[in-house]
A and B are shown apart, each in its own frame.
Chain A
């Protein structure tokens, strides 16, 4: 799949998971993510392995439940009581131990589910697309930012390797190891990493892609002005309901300014692409599904329909369940359809080879 498709999917999962607090819909989203995770290709080692992210997500989930328990909770359905010290009132109502309610645990579990969805989705993205591929299909306007990230990622493995070698050299000098050794390990690795990044910066400067000429003042001002406009628009929309037309106007103006900056930034650096990865029609459709799913759930949440919000503290009622939001959540599994229909070729190598051969030699 194209990097853009993966980015679109991760964003859609993020919006959807944050749009709802209904455990049923969250469970559907999680199932969709897991289904994609099972089918997604693993393109070489990602920066952080999927397994590490998944473990991190599960630990976060358990931790959020644990904190809810220790912190005690309000609610009518008390499951059990943890003995804890009486914390003085002037500490701001902090509680340690005390009764643990089913409502508190449910609330924590719902928050944990949303985090789990996002972490898993990011893990799939991270494993499926190498950062270098993302850099290559980054729009020119964001080139500088993504170059910085990619360079950081390039240097990370060598710093880890430095750390390993320094540790070995310490042992060869007879150092005993242990925590007191930490500065002796970390200082050389960090100094080495800094020196290496300076040398890389120099090499990039010499090759002419260190920095592009700064953008003209007007588009930079436009980009800076769009942020306060957007904040003002949001404030008017939510708190001054009578001013909503003006809010919409402001949001539109901010979007226009951003678009102008984007075009100027894209043109400031004339780049060409050697072999641009095309976005197939099926994936365009997939991106539409992602947008529909995320925007649909967001719209339902803003208009208060579809039982998207759920408050366990209102007496632990059964969450609602309606077909439309469930369908929108399930639609987030669309990459699975693409992945089943076309088992991912290894890094698109065969495909690109044929493209190279198709062109007549100069």
Chain B
């Protein structure tokens, strides 16, 4: 079979950028294949995906060389309206890719613009609603849908034009755990659908890596199309089960958890649990917090304590009250019942005073960056907190967050990952003892999560404490000492990390299912022979 899409020697640089974003990329995509594009943030994944429908270079401009052929068309020259019939593209942000009012109108809109007959539109609409499991949403307004539902609507809307290639640029990075699972489930369903080829860029490789036909490994502007087994050996970040097999030197590499378990059978791997700092004095205590929004109870009598040296992972499905708990702790909402105490004394009332001692990092903190340099952002927080803000203090704060190399850069020129780090540092630059973080791992790649885990451990070792809401179990296992599960506004469980992440616990990690007694890779004693 001849390939559906071919790139040959493509080198591309964005307008005004001296360094190419992609260099000498050559690869071929077969019809009907599921291809995973993997690599760290800012490695050129998004740029690569945009070659396939000509957004690069037609929409973005810039200098390009090399050639491309997609479904018999030249994407660098064919009009967008024509390319849309062959290549469907779904983007990261659910809010910024739909324009109609209701689900049905959104799916139909593209077909109307292409002048497709109404009877055919109806046939495709009914089939897509069923295929993506969004039949029940047909008449809902898009603004009332969750992120995961909106992403599935976006997929249905581009598939309505019956493209031969579906390209998805990190479709789950802005979603919570449940939404991401639903979108990946929908993708798995589409894989068995005729000769539709799918290229998906993702950080969550656990489910897609074993199912992919090929992997595009992207690193610093270079890209190579590899079979999944070979890619697993060279990718920088892989699921923990694959990483464990990699460290043990297993060949061929198992790609799924079950395969890894089979490969490890008979090997006696010892566990060496991570020593945790002993909890010290109580820093924060919430007593029977109840929060109501109108008639709905978002929190019901929640009691939480936090001691020095503790890092609590707060988990729970969407709408279980995680954000509300943070808002109540930071004084952004007043609880209907219950009280918050800091170090044994009643907490001050307003958010400004409370966050001086228990700093809250809300979701997407990069939104608040507005100064012209990273140093000015840090200085601003210090100024508002009435702290000295000389060059020495700013450098000390930057060093604590390992962003000292970025001090003179403009936050808007940084990569998304760097922006996240700067924003978190800016929210906590005044050095509060307690950190409250709402979904900091959302949209983070492997290295960024490792960075966050290192900061949290340092903070706990120095006698600080933190509560971190997250959907990412593997990331939470890197830093948590305790896990609190929320469900429908109540505490479902409150366990030490070793028990919560254990194979028989509520949130087993991949490593825990392979090596009894260990939770993360570093707790597995790798035999020296390997």
Chain A residues near B (Cβ < 8 Å): 44, 130, 132-133, 136, 147, 150-151, 154, 157-158, 162, 165-166, 168-176, 183-184, 187-188, 191-192, 196, 199-213, 269-275, 349, 359, 361-362
C-alpha spacing A173/B351, complex, angstroms: 9
Task: Tell me whether A359 and B122 are in contact in the complex, defined as CB-CB below 8 angstroms, given that A204-B99, A206-B89 are known contacts.
Answer: yes
C-alpha spacing A143/B511, complex, angstroms: 56
Distance between B350 CB and nearest chain A CB, rounded to angstroms: 8
Query: What would be 20 A-B contacts, judged by CB atoms less than 8 Å apart?
Result: A132-B100, A157-B143, A172-B330, A172-B361, A173-B381, A175-B384, A176-B352, A196-B93, A199-B91, A201-B59, A206-B55, A206-B89, A207-B84, A207-B161, A208-B114, A269-B113, A272-B115, A361-B126, A362-B119, A362-B126
Tell whether, in the assembled complex, residue A203 and residue B380 are in contact, meaning their CB atoms are under 8 Å apart.
Answer: no
Task: Tell me whether A188 and B370 are in contact in the complex, defined as CB-CB below 8 angstroms, given that A174-B381, A208-B85, A208-B161 are known contacts.
Answer: yes
Chain B residues near A (Cβ < 8 Å): 53, 55, 58-59, 79-85, 87-89, 91, 93, 95-97, 99-101, 105, 108-119, 121-123, 125-126, 139, 141, 143, 157-158, 161, 330, 332, 351-352, 355-356, 359-362, 364-365, 367-370, 380-381, 384-385, 412, 426-427, 430
Please name all residues of chain B whose beta carbon is closer than 8 Å to the beta carbon of A207 when the two chains form the complex: 84, 88-89, 110, 157-158, 161
Count chain B CB atoms within 10 A of each CB in A171, A174, A209 and give the residue with the most. A174
**Closest chain A residue to B53, Cβ basis:** A206
Tell whether, in the assembled complex, residue A188 and residue B332 are in contact, meaning their CB atoms are under 8 Å apart.
Answer: no
C-alpha spacing A171/B117, complex, angstroms: 54
Task: Tell me whether A174 and B55 are in contact in the complex, defined as CB-CB below 8 angstroms, given that A191-B370, A204-B99, A207-B158 are known contacts.
Answer: no
Distance between A212 CB and nearest chain B CB, rounded to angstroms: 8
**Closest chain B residue to A274, Cβ basis:** B108
Tell whether, in the assembled complex, residue A188 and residue B118 are in contact, meaning their CB atoms are under 8 Å apart.
Answer: no
Please name all residues of chain A whose beta carbon is closer than 8 Å to the beta carbon of B359 when the two chains form the complex: 172
Tell whether, in the assembled complex, residue B99 and residue A272 are in contact, meaning their CB atoms are under 8 Å apart.
Answer: no
Distance between B485 CB and nearest chain A CB, rounded to angstroms: 25
**Closest chain B residue to A130, Cβ basis:** B101
Tell whether, in the assembled complex, residue A174 and residue B112 are in contact, meaning their CB atoms are under 8 Å apart.
Answer: no
Tell whether, in the assembled complex, residue A203 and residue B96 are in contact, meaning their CB atoms are under 8 Å apart.
Answer: yes
Interface of A is mostly: helix
C-alpha spacing A130/B141, complex, angstroms: 12
**9 more A-B contacts (CB under 8 A) besides A187-B370, A273-B118?**
A157-B143, A166-B367, A169-B368, A171-B355, A174-B355, A207-B89, A208-B81, A272-B118, A274-B122
Please name all residues of chain A whose beta carbon is closer than 8 Å to the beta carbon of B430 when the two chains form the complex: 174
Selected from A205, A273, A349, the residue in CB contact (under 8 A) with B55 is A205
Tell whether, in the assembled complex, residue B99 and residue A150 are in contact, meaning their CB atoms are under 8 Å apart.
Answer: yes
Interface of B is mostly: helix
Please name all residues of chain B whose beta carbon is closer than 8 Å to the beta carbon of A271 when the two chains form the complex: 112-113, 115
Please name all residues of chain A whose beta carbon is closer than 8 Å to the beta carbon of B109 when the two chains form the complex: 209
Distance between A215 CB and nearest chain B CB, rounded to angstroms: 15
C-alpha spacing A184/B91, complex, angstroms: 29
Task: Tell me whether A274 and B112 are in contact in the complex, defined as CB-CB below 8 angstroms, given that A172-B355, A208-B80 are known contacts.
Answer: yes
Tell whether, in the assembled complex, residue A176 and residue B384 are in contact, meaning their CB atoms are under 8 Å apart.
Answer: yes
Tell whether, in the assembled complex, residue B105 and residue A199 are in contact, meaning their CB atoms are under 8 Å apart.
Answer: no
Please name all residues of chain A whose beta carbon is closer than 8 Å to the beta carbon of B112 when the two chains form the complex: 271-274
C-alpha spacing A132/B330, complex, angstroms: 39
C-alpha spacing A191/B366, complex, angstroms: 12
Tell whether, in the assembled complex, residue B117 and residue A272 are in contact, meaning their CB atoms are under 8 Å apart.
Answer: yes
Please name all residues of chain A whose beta carbon is closer than 8 Å to the beta carbon of B384 when the two chains form the complex: 173-176
Distance between B354 CB and nearest chain A CB, rounded to angstroms: 9
Tell whether, in the assembled complex, residue A173 and residue B380 are in contact, meaning their CB atoms are under 8 Å apart.
Answer: yes
Tell whether, in the assembled complex, residue A136 and residue B105 are in contact, meaning their CB atoms are under 8 Å apart.
Answer: yes
**Closest chain A residue to B117, Cβ basis:** A272
Distance between B329 CB and nearest chain A CB, rounded to angstroms: 12
Task: Tell me whether A170 and B368 are in contact in the complex, defined as CB-CB below 8 angstroms, given that A132-B101, A203-B91 are known contacts.
Answer: yes
C-alpha spacing A202/B143, complex, angstroms: 20
Count chain A CB atoms within 10 A of each CB in B125, B367, B430 and give the residue with the most. B367
Tell whether, in the assembled complex, residue A169 and residue B362 are in contact, meaning their CB atoms are under 8 Å apart.
Answer: yes
Count chain A CB atoms within 10 A of each CB in B80, B121, B125 and give the residue with the most. B80
Tell whether, in the assembled complex, residue A208 and residue B84 are in contact, meaning their CB atoms are under 8 Å apart.
Answer: yes
Distance between B203 CB and nearest chain A CB, rounded to angstroms: 19
C-alpha spacing A27/B79, complex, angstroms: 55
**Closest chain A residue to B355, Cβ basis:** A172
**Closest chain A residue to B428, Cβ basis:** A173
Please name all residues of chain A whose beta carbon is closer than 8 Å to the beta carbon of B111 when the two chains form the complex: 272, 274
Selected from B85, B108, B370, the residue in CB contact (under 8 A) with A184 is B370
Tell whether, in the assembled complex, residue B123 and residue A362 are in contact, meaning their CB atoms are under 8 Å apart.
Answer: yes
6 A-B pairs with least C-beta separation: A208-B84, A203-B97, A132-B101, A174-B384, A169-B368, A270-B115
Distance between B302 CB and nearest chain A CB, rounded to angstroms: 21
Count chain B CB atoms within 10 A of each CB in A204, A213, A270 and give the residue with the most. A204
Distance between B430 CB and nearest chain A CB, rounded to angstroms: 7
Distance between A214 CB and nearest chain B CB, rounded to angstroms: 12
Task: Tell me whether A208 and B110 are in contact in the complex, defined as CB-CB below 8 angstroms, given that A174-B381, A188-B369, A199-B96 are known contacts.
Answer: yes
Please name all residues of chain B whose beta carbon is closer than 8 Å to the beta carbon of A201 when the two chains form the complex: 59
Please name all residues of chain A whose beta carbon is closer than 8 Å to the beta carbon of B123 when the two chains form the complex: 362
Count chain B CB atoms within 10 A of each CB in A187, A203, A211 and give the residue with the most. A203
Selected from B97, B115, B119, the residue in CB contact (under 8 A) with A199 is B97
Tell whether, in the assembled complex, residue A183 and residue B380 are in contact, meaning their CB atoms are under 8 Å apart.
Answer: no
Please name all residues of chain B whose beta carbon is closer than 8 Å to the beta carbon of A132 when the two chains form the complex: 100-101, 105
C-alpha spacing A162/B93, complex, angstroms: 15
**Closest chain B residue to A197, Cβ basis:** B96
Count chain B CB atoms within 10 A of each CB in A183, A187, A199 and give the residue with the most. A199
Please name all residues of chain A whose beta carbon is closer than 8 Å to the beta carbon of B381 when the two chains form the complex: 173-174
Selected from B85, B89, B360, B380, the residue in CB contact (under 8 A) with A172 is B360
Please name all residues of chain B whose beta carbon is closer than 8 Å to the beta carbon of A206 when the two chains form the complex: 53, 55, 59, 80, 83-84, 87-89, 91, 158
Tell whether, in the assembled complex, residue B362 and residue A168 are in contact, meaning their CB atoms are under 8 Å apart.
Answer: yes
C-alpha spacing A64/B255, complex, angstroms: 75
Please name all residues of chain B whose beta carbon is closer than 8 Å to the beta carbon of A191 when the two chains form the complex: 370, 412
Tell whether, in the assembled complex, residue A196 and residue B95 are in contact, meaning their CB atoms are under 8 Å apart.
Answer: yes
Tell whether, in the assembled complex, residue B105 and residue A154 are in contact, meaning their CB atoms are under 8 Å apart.
Answer: no
Tell whether, in the assembled complex, residue B118 and residue A274 are in contact, meaning their CB atoms are under 8 Å apart.
Answer: yes
Tell whether, in the assembled complex, residue A173 and residue B368 are in contact, meaning their CB atoms are under 8 Å apart.
Answer: yes
Please name all residues of chain B whose beta carbon is closer than 8 Å to the beta carbon of A359 when the two chains form the complex: 122
Please name all residues of chain B whose beta carbon is closer than 8 Å to the beta carbon of A199 when the two chains form the complex: 91, 93, 96-97
Please name all residues of chain B whose beta carbon is closer than 8 Å to the beta carbon of A274 when the two chains form the complex: 105, 108, 111-112, 118, 121-122, 125
Distance between B127 CB and nearest chain A CB, rounded to angstroms: 9
Tell whether, in the assembled complex, residue B427 and residue A169 are in contact, meaning their CB atoms are under 8 Å apart.
Answer: yes
Please name all residues of chain A whose beta carbon is closer than 8 Å to the beta carbon of B87 when the two chains form the complex: 206
Tell whether, in the assembled complex, residue B83 and residue A202 are in contact, meaning their CB atoms are under 8 Å apart.
Answer: no
Selected from A158, A171, A196, the residue in CB contact (under 8 A) with B352 is A171
Tell whether, in the assembled complex, residue A202 and residue B55 are in contact, meaning their CB atoms are under 8 Å apart.
Answer: yes
C-alpha spacing A312/B373, complex, angstroms: 63
Tell whether, in the assembled complex, residue A208 and residue B113 are in contact, meaning their CB atoms are under 8 Å apart.
Answer: yes
Please name all residues of chain B whose beta carbon is closer than 8 Å to the beta carbon of A157 when the two chains form the complex: 143
**Closest chain B residue to A162, Cβ basis:** B367
C-alpha spacing A120/B380, complex, angstroms: 47
